Structure 1
Amino acid sequence: MGAIIGAVVGGGFALFGIVVAWLLQLVVTWLAERKQVRAVLQAIIDEISVLESLYMHRIGAAVEMNGGQDILEIYFPILSNYFVVYDTNYGGIGRVQSAEVRKAVVETYAHLKSLADTFGYNNQLLMERQALDQQLVSSPDSEALKFLVRFKEDELRAYGAGIWQLHVAAMSAASNLKTLIGDRLRVCDVP
């Protein structure tokens, strides 16, 4: 009988040890996950801040001065993928528990990527107008060329207004995202 009681007590302690080890592993895993998500969110804030600063320094101020009122006469080449943190951490973004934060991240990057694409098309329109201007120099009396130049300028004006709208939406989304993530990180809450 004593052997049976000893076996049951020993087995109970062994089972208790297994449960405690399992619970500790859950806590360690949860803490590691929390740390990883926090790192991704901090990297997103850093990337957005750097992109916003570069953009405003290189062309954003000109967009604001134009206010969508005229042709944006600035060729702004986009030759690289500037969204490295976002593009390489989509899994980490998906692990963010807050739907509000996940949505804000995706929305902000969608606005920023749309803005980048818009500048690419504006560049194309500027080059097309420049080519028409050069043709007009050699054929200054061509009514067809004059019409095409005016048409291209109208298209560029309309596109300037679109750039302004995207600029406002992207800057607003970036500001909101930085505030939202910053607030969550300050209170040590993994969103």
Structure 2
Amino acid sequence: MDWSSFGSAISGAVIGGFIAGFFALKSTQKSFDNQKTQSDESEKKLIKGVLQAIHDELETIFERYQESMGSKIENLNDQEALAFYYPLVSDFFTVYNGNSFLIGRIPDNDLRKKIIKTYTIAKGMVDSFRLNNDLVSKWEFSEKLFAESQLEVHKQQAIAHHSALVDYAKSIKDGHASFKVEVNGLLRELRKNGVLNEVNN
């Protein structure tokens, strides 16, 4: 047996194995890096899509709200009631509610907090209008009873319900002012983050 040839063969095999292993490892690492890059890009596109949808939802809702109710609230004087119904659908915030699991994945802490705060205030406004609608219903019912019966008790109830509407209108005006500030601030922030930029979508 030629030990020299045998040693050379073993050395060659070991070196060849190391080289093959090294390149296999490099190939695996490169594949992992590529997958991570693709995953990161997919995540960015997903979050950007959610932010665009939130922008469009808020902008649309606020424009319609401002036209139908916001302007009326701003024109109320301090002793005036919001004495009419505001029709409410079951869910104004389809995008936000349907993508709530993605909100926590928004990397910008301040933006994430702004989104949550704005929608919390918006939902609070919806609850306020539901309560106001209930107060309007009670006031109208008392007015109807008084008109039919002419009883003093129903007149006093109608006056009390109207007074409650006047007081609650002040709370709605405060909520509206806060809501308007938050929505406009969030829309500006979303635009600064490039939600209207179609490049690299």
Residue of structure 2 equivalent to 1:19: 29
Would you identify which runs of 4 or more consecutive aligned residues in structure 1 move more than 4 Å? Answer: none
Residue of structure 1 equivalent to 2:87: 77
Residue of structure 2 equivalent to 1:40: 50
Change (3 A) 1:100 1:145: same
Residue of structure 2 equivalent to 1:176: 185
Map 1:1-150; keep pairs closer than 5 Å: 1-66=11-76, 69-140=79-150, 142-150=151-159
Q: Give the Cα separation in 1 of the matches to 2:167 and 2:142.
A: 18
Q: CA RMSD in A?
A: 1.6
Change (3 A) 1:8 1:165: same
Q: Give the Cα separation in 2 of the matches to 1:5 and 1:29.
A: 36
Q: Give the Cα separation in 2 of the matches to 1:111 and 1:138.
A: 41
**Identical columns (%):** 27
How far the C-alpha of 1:187 sits from its partner, in A, is: 11
How far the C-alpha of 1:171 sits from its partner, in A, is: 1.1
Q: Which runs of 5+ in 2 are unaligned?
A: 1-10
Q: Mean alpha-carbon deviation: is it higher for 31-40 or for 148-157?
A: 148-157
Residue correspondences, number: 187
Q: TM-score, normalised by structure 2?
A: 0.88
Q: Give the Cα separation in 2 of the matches to 1:153 and 1:112.
A: 25
How far the C-alpha of 1:144 sits from its partner, in A, is: 2.1
Q: Is the 8 A contact 1:68 1:165 kept in 2?
A: no
Q: Give the Cα separation in 2 of the matches to 1:49 and 1:181.
A: 11
When Rg is computed on C-alpha atoms for both structures, the one with the higher figure is: 2
Q: Give the Cα separation in 1 of the matches to 2:88 and 2:52.
A: 25
Q: Which runs of 5+ in 1 are unaligned?
A: none
Q: Give the Cα separation in 2 of the matches to 1:39 and 1:51.
A: 18
Residue of structure 2 equivalent to 1:155: 164
